[in-house]
Structure 1
Amino acid sequence: MTRSIRLDAVLVQAVIAGALSFAHLHDLAAAAGQTGWKAWAYPVSVDLLLVAVWRRLRTDGPSRLAWLWFLVALVASLGANIATAGLLNLGHVPAWLRILVAGWPALAFLGGTLLAHTHSHADGREPVLPAPAVTAPQPTEPAPEPEREPVATSAPAPALPQAAPAPPVPPALVDHARKVAADHRTRTGTDIDTATLRARLGVPEDLAGAIAAQLA
Structure 2
Amino acid sequence: MRPILRPDAVLVQAVIAGALSFAHLHDLASAAGQSGWKAWAYPISVDLLLVAAWRRLRTDGPSRLAWCWFLIALFASLGANVATAGFLDLAHPPAWLRFGIAGWPALAFLGGTLLAHTASDPTPATAVPEAAAPVLEVERDPAPAPKPGPAPALVVDDTPALPVADPAPDPATAPAPAPAMSVPAALVTHARKVADDHQSRTGFPIDTDTLRARLGVPAPMADAIAAQLT
Q: Give the alignment's TM-score, normalised by structure 2.
A: 0.52
Check conservation: 1:52, 1:112, Cα contact below 8 A. Answer: yes
Q: Deviations over 1:131-186 (max 9, x none)?
A: xxxxxxxxxxxxxxxxxxxxxxxxxxxxxxxxxxxxxxxxxxxxxxxxxxxxxxxx
For structure 1, the 5+ residue unaligned runs are 131-200, 206-216
Query: What letter corresponds to residue 130 of structure 2 in structure 1?
Result: G
Flag as ranges the 4+ runs of structure 1 deviating above 4 A: 127-130
Displacement of 1:54 in angstroms is 2.1
Matched, 1:202 2:130: yes
Matched, 1:82 2:59: no
From the CA coordinates, give the structure whose radius of gyration is larger.
2
Residue of structure 2 equivalent to 1:40? 40
Deviates more, 1:46-55 or 1:25-34: 46-55
Select the structure that is richer in helix. Answer: 1
Q: Deviations over 1:116-142 (max 9, x none)?
A: 00011266x7x7778xxxxxxxxxxxx
Task: Measure the CA separation in 2 of the matches of 1:13 and 1:75.
Answer: 20
Q: Give the alignment's TM-score, normalised by structure 1.
A: 0.55
RMSD: 2.3
Matched, 1:29 2:29: yes
Q: Which has the higher contact order (CA 8 A, sep 6+)?
A: 1
Displacement of 1:102 in angstroms is 0.5
Displacement of 1:93 in angstroms is 0.1
Check conservation: 1:60, 1:119, Cα contact below 8 A. Answer: no
Corresponding pairs, count: 130
Task: Measure the CA separation in 1 of the matches of 2:78 and 2:105.
Answer: 17
Alignment of 1:28-177 (within 5 A): 28-121=28-121
**What percent of counterpart residues are identical?**
75
Query: What letter corresponds to residue 48 of structure 1 in structure 2?
Result: L
Check conservation: 1:60, 1:122, Cα contact below 8 A. Answer: no
For structure 2, the 5+ residue unaligned runs are 134-230
